[in-house]
Structure 1
Amino acid sequence: MSTRRRHIRVLPPVFLLLALLTLFVKLRSQGEYLRSRRTQVEYNENVLLDDINNATLGFEKIFVINLPIRTDRKDAMTLAASFSNLTLNWIDGVSGSTVPERTLPLEEYKTPPGESERGSWRAHMNALQAITENGHASALIMEDDQDWDLRLREQLQTFALGVTTLVQPLRISRGKTQTYADPSFPEPDAVNKITTITHPNLPTTIPPSISPYGDNWDILWLGHCGMAIPERATTTHSKGIVILHSDSTVPGRRDLTTDLKSDGGPNLLRIAYPEHTRLIHHAYRPVCSTAYAVSQRGARKILYELGVRKYTSQFDNQLRELCDGEKMRETRLVCLTSQPSYFSHWRARGREEKDSDIAETKGEWRDKGESVNIRWSVRQNLGRFVRGEGEWEDQYPDR
C-alpha cells in the first residue's frame, strides 16, 4: 500500500501539467472559435437571408394587379403561386374610363393620357397606397401574367447578397465614416471606373436589420423588358456591378432575349461575358415595370412624385425618371436590378390578342406558351405539377 501511495505522489505533477496544457490549448481554441463566430454573426452573416424562403420571398406582401374580367390570368397565376408556395394579395386593375382627369397631377397644358395609361397608373398607385397606408416594410408588386424560375428563392438569395454588397456599408471600426464596396455609392461620381465584384468573393458588410435585401433601397426592379448597364462614362449612376458566373438559371447567350434596342442588358451579356453570367447593378434606363419590389420609404416617395406632384407619362417611364434622377423629379430613388431579370411576361398558348389589355395585336395563334430568359418556367411546368411529375422542362436547354 505504501509503495502504491509513493508511486501516486511521483506521477501526478507530470500528468497534471499535461492535462492543464491540453485544457489550455482546448479552451484557447474554443475561445478563438467563439470570438470568430460572434464576429461572423455580427458583421458577416445576413441573418435575414432565410426570410426569402417564406411565402412572400422575404417581402412583407406580394401584390398582384389583375383586371377582374381577366379571370383566365387569375386562374393561372393562382395555380403558379400555389406550386411555388407563394401567398398573393390581389389589387383590382382599373379601367381608365373610371379615372377622372382631375385626379391626375398634370402640369398646365399637359395633354391628358389615354384611358389605358390612366388605368395602369391608378392600379399601381392603389398598390403603393396600400403599402404606405398599412406600413408594410416592403412589398413585391407584379402584373398578373408573370413567369419565374422554379429556383426563384435560390436566385433571390444570391440577388440579396449582391444587393447588400452594393448598398450596405462595409464593416468598419466605430467612429469612422461609412464606406462602401462601390465607391460611387451613395453619391455617383464622375470617375471613369466601374467597380466589379465577383460572387462569391464578396466583401464583408454590416448585415441588414430591416430586409434581407439590405436597408438602403427604394426599388428592386426584378421584372423588366430591358435594362441598360451603367458604363464608365455614366456620371448619373453608381457603377458597382456584382458578377455571377456559371449561373445555371441563365440561358446560354444564344437564347438571351431583350426588347430593349440598345447595346446594354442581355445584348452586352452575349458579347462581353461568358455563358450563363448574371449581373446585379443599379437600374439604368429600365423598360417595363412587370415586377418590382418597393420599400416603405420607396412607396412613399413614388406616391408623392407620381400621385401628388407630377404625372408625366406611362407608369414605367415615370419610375424610370425617378431611378435615373431626371430633372423633372424632386426625388431620386435607389434602384437595383438583375440582368437578365427574374420575372418575365408569360405568353400563353392561344390567340396573341390575349397578351395585352392595352396594346392592339393581330390575334395570331400561338401553339405553345413561352417566356423569355426563364429556364425552369413555373408556367411551362404547370401540367407536370398537376400530374405529379417531377422532371421539369427546360425552355432553354444548353446546346
Structure 2
Amino acid sequence: MNLNMGAVRNPPRHVTFGAVAFFIIVLFVVFTPRTPHLDVSRLQSSTGSAAPPAAAAAPAGGKTSSKTSSSGSGSAPAAYKSNAEKLYGNDYHGHSSPSDINRVTNDTLGFSKIFVVGLPERSDKRDAIALTSSLTGFHVDWVDGVKGESIPDKAVPFGTDRKKLWESNLGSWRGHMNAIRRIVEDDLESALIMEDDMDWDVRLKPQLERVAQGARALLGSKSNPASPYGDDWDILWLGHCGEVFPELLDENKGKPADDKGIKYMQRKFVIEKDATVPPLDKVTGLIDFKASPEHTRWVHITGAPICTFAYALSQKGARKVLFDLSVDHLNGPFDNSLAWLCRRAVSSVGAPEEKAGDRGLDTKCLSVTPPIFFHHKAKGMMSGDSDIQTVADGAVREKGVTENIVWSARNNIRNMIMGTRMESQYEDISSSKSS
C-alpha cells in the first residue's frame, strides 16, 4: 500500500479552515446566553390585555387611533408585553417611542412638581397618599388646604357671592389657588395638582406614556419638547367625575361639520384594548361608552369636566388660571370655574371676533376619558369621604372602592408591599403577579 504521509500530516487548507469554523460555531452555540421564549398568549392572560399597539399620527380634526400602524409615531410600552418587569415603582422607566416620552416615568411623572392639596388635620389621607405615591414610584409636595371661614371678605374675588357659595367651597378654591400660585412664583414649567383622596391604577406610569403620546398628537407637538406631554397645552385634565366631548355641548351642536372649531374639538386620540379601563357595565362618566369597543380610553379636547380630582398646568396655563379665577373674578366653585374657562376657550375656536368674547384666554385644555385619577372612598367612616359636604354621617364602609380604576393603588397597598398578586376591582379583568 502506497501511503502519502505528507498528505496525512498536512491536510488540505480548505479542510483546516472548515474544521476551525466548525469549532468556532460550536463554542458560540454552547456559551451564548439564551433568550427566554416569549409566550404572547400567556403574557396577555397574565396582564389582562393584549399589548397596546402603536399610536398613529392624528389628522387635523380627525381621530388618532391606537391601532397598530406602520406609520405610527409611537410604540406600546413594553411593560404591557412582559411579565418580567414590574408595572409600577421606581424601577419602571418606560419603553415608549420617541424615547423622551419615558420621562413620564420619573419621580414627578414628567412634571416639574406634583402638589397634593389637603387639610393638615386629615392625617389619614396624607398617610394613604404617602404610601401609594411611594409604592407606585413618584414624589409629592403638600399644599395645605384652607378653611373658608379663614378667608376675609376683602380677599374674596370680584363677582363672588359668598352667601351662595359654601364656605367649604371657598376654602377649596383658595387651597387650589395656593398650589397654582406656587407654579407661577417658582417659575415651574408644569405641575400636577391633585386632591388628597385620589386613587389611581398601579400601572399609572404605562398609562401616562399613552397620555403623553396622545397629547403630542392632538396639539402637533414639535420634536424634542421640554415636556414629555408636549409644549402647547395649558391644562391637562387627568382626573374628573365625567364630561361630554366638546362637540356635544349645547353651544356647539348646531355648528356645520366643516366649521373650524368643530374640526378642532373633534380631535381624539383613541387607546383601544386598554386593560386599565373597566368593563362597559362598570365604567362611569357622561359619554356613551357602549358606542365604542370595550376597554377604550380617549385623550381629547376638553369640553366641560366636573370635579378637579387631578389636573396639570403648564406655566402659561397657571398664569391664565390665576388671572381668570382670582385676580379678575370668580363666579362659582373652583371646579366649575376651571371647566368654564376651558369651555369658553374651545367653543370660541373659529368663531367670529364679535362672538368670541374673551376666547377663554385661548386656553388649550386636554382631557382623558375615562379619567386615570379618581376619588377613593376609603373603608371606615363614610363621613370622612368629603371635607366639603357631609356624607352618610355614622355609616361605616367595610371595603374601600374607587370608580374607574381597575388595579386600585389604595386597595393594593398590601400586595405592593408584599410583592403578591394584584387585586382587580372587576372580576372579568385578570390580575397579574407582580415581580
Structure-2-length-normalised TM-score: 0.68
Q: In the alignment, which residue of structure 2 is the partner of 1:150?
A: 202
Q: Which whole-Å CA distance do the structure 2 matches of 1:372 and 1:332 have between them?
A: 32
Q: 1:222 aligns with which of 211, 214, 238?
A: 238
Q: 2:405 aligns with which of 365, 374, 388?
A: 374
Conserved 8 A contact 2:145-2:171? yes
- 1:285 matched to 2:304? The reply is yes
Following TM superposition, by how much is the alpha carbon of 1:231 offset from its aligned partner in structure 2, in angstroms?
3.3
Q: Deviations over 1:353-396 (max 9, x none)?
A: 0100111122222110000010011100112233x132000111
Q: 1:301 aligns with which of 296, 316, 320?
A: 320
Conserved 8 A contact 1:348-1:369? yes
**Matched position secondary structure for 1:222:** strand
Query: CA separation of 1:101/1:221 partners in 2, compared to 1, >3 Å: closer, same or farther?
Result: same
Query: CA separation of 1:329/1:230 partners in 2, compared to 1, >3 Å: closer, same or farther?
Result: closer
Following TM superposition, by how much is the alpha carbon of 1:280 offset from its aligned partner in structure 2, in angstroms?
1.2
- 1:132 matched to 2:184? The reply is yes
Query: CA separation of 1:100/1:161 partners in 2, compared to 1, >3 Å: closer, same or farther?
Result: same
1:125 maps to a residue whose letter is M
Q: In the alignment, which residue of structure 1 is the partner of 2:293?
A: 274
- 1:315 matched to 2:334? The reply is yes
Q: 2:112 aligns with which of 49, 60, 63?
A: 60
Structure-1-length-normalised TM-score: 0.74
Q: In the alignment, which residue of structure 1 is the partner of 2:277?
A: 250
Q: CA RMSD in A?
A: 2.2
**Matched position secondary structure for 1:220:** strand
Following TM superposition, by how much is the alpha carbon of 1:48 offset from its aligned partner in structure 2, in angstroms?
2.4
- 1:77 matched to 2:129? The reply is yes
Q: Which whole-Å CA distance do the structure 1 matches of 2:162 and 2:156 have between them?
A: 11
Query: CA separation of 1:365/1:133 partners in 2, compared to 1, >3 Å: closer, same or farther?
Result: same
Q: In the alignment, which residue of structure 1 is the partner of 2:154?
A: 102
Conserved 8 A contact 2:277-2:295? yes
Q: 1:395 aligns with which of 416, 420, 425?
A: 425
Following TM superposition, by how much is the alpha carbon of 1:47 offset from its aligned partner in structure 2, in angstroms?
4.1
Following TM superposition, by how much is the alpha carbon of 1:46 offset from its aligned partner in structure 2, in angstroms?
3.5
Q: Deviations over 1:37-89 (max 9, x none)?
A: xxx99xx9534211111001000100001101101100111011110121110
Higher deviation after alignment, 214-223 or 225-234: 225-234
Following TM superposition, by how much is the alpha carbon of 1:350 offset from its aligned partner in structure 2, in angstroms?
1.1
Query: CA separation of 1:45/1:371 partners in 2, compared to 1, >3 Å: closer, same or farther?
Result: closer
**Matched position secondary structure for 2:414:** helix
Identity %: 41
Q: How many aligned residue pairs are there? A: 313
Q: Which whole-Å CA distance do the structure 2 matches of 1:148 and 1:307 have between them?
A: 30
* Structure 2 unaligned spans of 5+: 1-72, 75-95, 256-260, 346-356, 430-435
Q: Which whole-Å CA distance do the structure 2 matches of 1:89 and 1:109 have between them?
A: 32
